[in-house]
């Protein structure tokens, strides 16, 4: 502590690079600060520090630490508490560039495993980024003293030491409840559960906070189930969705897409008060959409697209600029290859000619001249042969009534099971369209990404870096992820970038594993060693990383314009 204060006074007024002398560990009364990385310029990326608090100074319950799910939830709650104190402190330090900046990887509405706070057997580690103060490019030592000896101590005191055990226990209990619901879903073979009283609408397209005065979700009596979950006296009721082909119908602006969007995010768990904290979906579920212009590399889209002009092969289809239909076909096949057992589809973001060809269009364009087998003609095979379910928002085509197992209609934001009525309508108004010729669907994609796919070189340096939520810069190319809709946190994108770096630096692709095997190995590393295993310096500040799902890692690999497939 004294050593750090003396160092700051000694370098006061010197060139900014004098801050490099600070790298190391310093003992304070209740914790240790380790400075792992020092920025070289006041305008550069902030410095990285770890605040390490021994268990003896702030004991945490062993059952919070030892149970992985509880550990994630309690760590998440601590990160939120520290983030709030950082906001309340704001910058009390003057200087140029990022002077006085203090950051923690602040979670959003979702509870995701991340590296910001790590609860261990002997200590809790809080990872911060800080802007070391400067005047121009000169050290402001006295301002840096404020940072280390006033601001950070106040943040740690209020954000960590003062957080009550009851608040942390509440987070641990939410973890227990989510675990119990997940176990019930597996036991009863449900692909989704939506609790009665859930608030599904969001404030806006740019805010994930719940909409005030929204209509609470109410399950149809035909689909209502009861669950007894921990830390709750009364049974929880809600709507269970079973495997199969499930349609969400209804008029415009009645809540169809809102329901699907809640199910999309239900692959993650949410904080208490989010409104969707008891909306849970099959964790492997993937949102499928059209994605004009995306890269596709050696994907077997032949079950959906065949006999292209000029004889282009669709059993290993590649293009740098996919159309709406070919991109959606590729997205389906890639999702299944990565392990998805549920597909989520909204007609509003789908290619119409991929989803349906009605009788009149079939009469105009003969089957011999149409290379696309629409999704409606393959969906039952997906269900029966690959056990892949679907939840589809469909407001414009009643042809899907003939293949649906269950249909719900949204009416003024309330769900009604109309499966029986739909069956009557289908009998009364039979369709005259004919199922298109189609190839059998089988689990056939066993693609292997070759080492040269990872082109990190940029001149004499290697580069892979996340840019916000939807872009990764790899070498001289960009990987665009803006239509990977279940990527919800920029820290997930950073983690994917670090995974790419790891795969390249450890020559992982030389093993020539299938994509599925590669994803299995990545998940095993995270389960065994945590996300820090992919950080450039795992024994130091692990960076601002949050766990991506295997489907989002696969989505990134599939969108690399440098991909080479064997």
Report the alpha-carbon distance of residue 459 to residue 479 in Å, rounded.
19
CB-based contact 323:351 (threshold 8 Å):
yes
Is residue 439 very low, low, confident or very high in pLDDT (cuts 50, 70, 90)?
low
**pLDDT interval class at 444 (50, 70, 90):** low
376 located within any domain: no
**What pLDDT is attached to residue 362?**
78
Residue in this structure with the two tokens 């989704």, named with its chain if needed: 192
Instruction: Write the pLDDT tens digit of every residue in 223-275.
Output: 999 999 999 999 999 999 999 999 999 999 899 999 999 999 999 999 999 99
Q: Identify the CA nearest to 182 among candidates 287, 279, 67.
A: 279
**Six-digit token pair at 128?**
């911060």
Q: Is residue 124 part of a domain?
A: yes
CA distance 448 to 565: 6
Alpha helices in 388-443 (DSSP H): 419-428
Q: Indicate the residue among 125, 148, 163 that finishes a domain.
A: 163
pLDDT score of 437 more than 70: no
Q: Identify whether 367 is part of a domain.
A: no
Please state, in angstroms and rounded to a whole number, the distance separating the CA atoms of residues 360 and 115.
Answer: 56
Rounded distance between C-alpha atoms, residue 38 and residue 290, angstroms: 44
- The residues, ordered by sequence, that sit 6+ positions from 337 with a Cβ below 8 Å of its Cβ are 445, 447, 515, 516, 554
| 412 three-class SS | coil
- pLDDT at residue 42 is higher than 70: yes
Q: Is the pLDDT of residue 408 over 90?
A: yes
Q: How confident is the model at residue 21 (pLDDT cuts 50, 70, 90)?
A: very high
Q: What is the pLDDT of residue 335?
A: 97
Q: 382: pLDDT confidence band, cut at 50, 70 and 90?
A: very high
Q: For residue 2, what pLDDT band results from cuts at 50, 70 and 90? A: confident
| Cβ burial 438-454 (10 Å sphere, 16+ → b, else e) | ebebeeebebbbeeebb
Cα 102–chain centre separation:
25
**CA dihedral (532, 266, 270, 489) positive or negative:** positive
Residue with tokens 């969001």: 202
Q: Is residue 373 part of a domain?
A: no
pLDDT at 541: 93
163, 191, 216 — which closes off a domain?
163
Tens digit of pLDDT for each residue in 266-308?
999 999 999 999 999 999 999 999 999 999 999 999 999 987 8
pLDDT higher than threshold 70 for residue 471: yes
State the pLDDT at residue 438.
Answer: 62
Question: Which among 231, 237, 241 has a CA at the least distance from the CA of 263?
Answer: 241
* Residue 346, in any domain of the structure: no
Residue at token pair 């301002």 = 143
DSSP codes, 446-513: ---B-GGG---EETTEE-EEEETTTEEEETTEEEE-TT-TT---HHHHHHHHHHHHHHHHTTGGGG--
* Rounded Cα distance, 322 and 478, in Å: 17
Establish if 347 belongs to a structural domain.
no
Structural domain count, the chain: 2
Residue 50 is part of which domain span?
A: 2-163
Calpha distance 169→173 (Å, rounded): 6
Of 153-167, 329-343, 352-366, least confident by mean pLDDT is 352-366
Q: Does residue 23 fall inside a structural domain?
A: yes
> What pLDDT sits at residue 443?
63
At 95-150, the pLDDT tens digits run 889 999 999 999 999 999 999 999 999 999 999 999 999 999 999 999 999 999 99
Tell me, what's the pLDDT at 363?
77
Query: Pick the residue with more confidence: 443 or 68?
Result: 68
Structural domain includes residue 476: yes
3-state helix, strand, coil in the chain (%, to 5): 35, 20, 40
CA distance 456 to 119: 33
* Domain stop point among 96, 131, 163: 163
What is the per-residue pLDDT for 313? Answer: 87
Tens of pLDDT, residues 191-209: 999 999 999 999 988 888 9
CA 97 to chain centre: 32
- Find the mean pLDDT for residues 329-341: 97
DSSP helix/strand/coil, 117: strand
């Amino acid at each position: 502590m004294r050593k750090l204060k003396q160092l700051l006074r000694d370098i006061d007024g010197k060139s900014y690079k004098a801050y490099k002398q600070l790298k190391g560990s310093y003992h304070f009364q209740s914790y240790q600060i380790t400075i792992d990385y020092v920025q070289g310029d006041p305008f550069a990326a902030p410095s990285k520090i770890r605040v390490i608090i021994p268990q003896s100074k702030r004991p945490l319950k062993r059952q919070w630490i030892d149970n992985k799910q509880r550990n994630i939830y309690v760590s998440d709650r601590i990160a939120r508490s520290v983030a709030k104190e950082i906001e309340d402190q704001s910058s009390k330090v003057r200087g140029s560039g990022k002077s006085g900046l203090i950051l923690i990887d602040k979670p959003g509405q979702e509870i995701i495993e991340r590296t910001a706070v790590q609860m261990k057997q002997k200590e809790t580690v809080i990872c911060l980024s800080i802007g070391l103060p400067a005047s121009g490019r000169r050290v402001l030592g006295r301002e840096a003293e404020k940072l280390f000896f006033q601001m950070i101590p106040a943040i740690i005191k209020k954000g960590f030491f003062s957080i009550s055990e009851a608040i942390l226990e509440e987070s641990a209990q939410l973890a227990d409840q989510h675990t119990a619901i997940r176990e019930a879903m597996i036991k009863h073979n449900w692909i989704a559960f939506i609790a009665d009283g859930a608030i599904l609408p969001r404030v806006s397209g740019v805010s994930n906070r719940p909409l005030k005065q929204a209509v609470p979700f109410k399950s149809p009596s035909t689909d209502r189930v009861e669950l007894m979950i921990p830390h709750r006296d009364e049974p929880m009721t809600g709507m269970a969705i079973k495997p199969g082909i499930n349609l969400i119908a209804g008029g415009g602006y009645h809540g169809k897409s809102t329901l699907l969007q809640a199910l999309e995010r239900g692959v993650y768990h949410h904080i208490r008060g989010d409104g969707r904290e008891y909306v849970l979906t099959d964790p492997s579920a993937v949102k499928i959409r059209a994605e004009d212009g995306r890269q596709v590399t050696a994907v077997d889209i032949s079950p959906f697209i065949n006999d292209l002009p000029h004889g282009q092969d669709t059993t290993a289809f590649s293009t740098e600029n996919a159309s709406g239909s070919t991109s959606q076909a590729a997205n389906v096949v890639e999702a299944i290859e990565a392990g998805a057992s549920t597909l989520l589809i909204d007609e509003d973001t789908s290619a119409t000619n991929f989803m349906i060809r009605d009788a009149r269009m079939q009469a105009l364009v003969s089957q011999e001249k149409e290379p696309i087998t629409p999704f409606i003609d393959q969906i039952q095979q997906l269900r029966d042969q690959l056990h892949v379910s679907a939840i589809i928002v469909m407001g414009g085509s009643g042809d899907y009534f003939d293949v649906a197992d269950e249909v719900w209609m949204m009416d003024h934001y309330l769900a009604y099971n109309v499966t029986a009525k739909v069956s009557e309508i289908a009998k009364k108004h039979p369709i005259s369209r004919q199922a298109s010729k189609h190839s059998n669907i089988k689990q056939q994609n066993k693609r292997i990404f070759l080492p040269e796919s990872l082109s990190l070189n940029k001149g004499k340096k290697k580069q892979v870096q996340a840019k916000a939520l939807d872009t990764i810069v790899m070498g001289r190319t960009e990987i665009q992820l803006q239509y990977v809709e279940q990527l919800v946190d920029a820290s997930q994108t950073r983690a994917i970038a670090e995974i790419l770096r790891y795969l390249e630096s450890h020559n992982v692709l030389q093993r020539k594993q299938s994509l599925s095997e590669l994803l299995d190995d990545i998940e095993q590393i995270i389960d065994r060693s945590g996300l820090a295993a992919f950080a450039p310096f795992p024994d130091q500040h692990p960076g601002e990383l949050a766990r991506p799902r295997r489907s989002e890692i696969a989505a990134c690999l599939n969108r690399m314009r440098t991909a080479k497939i064997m």
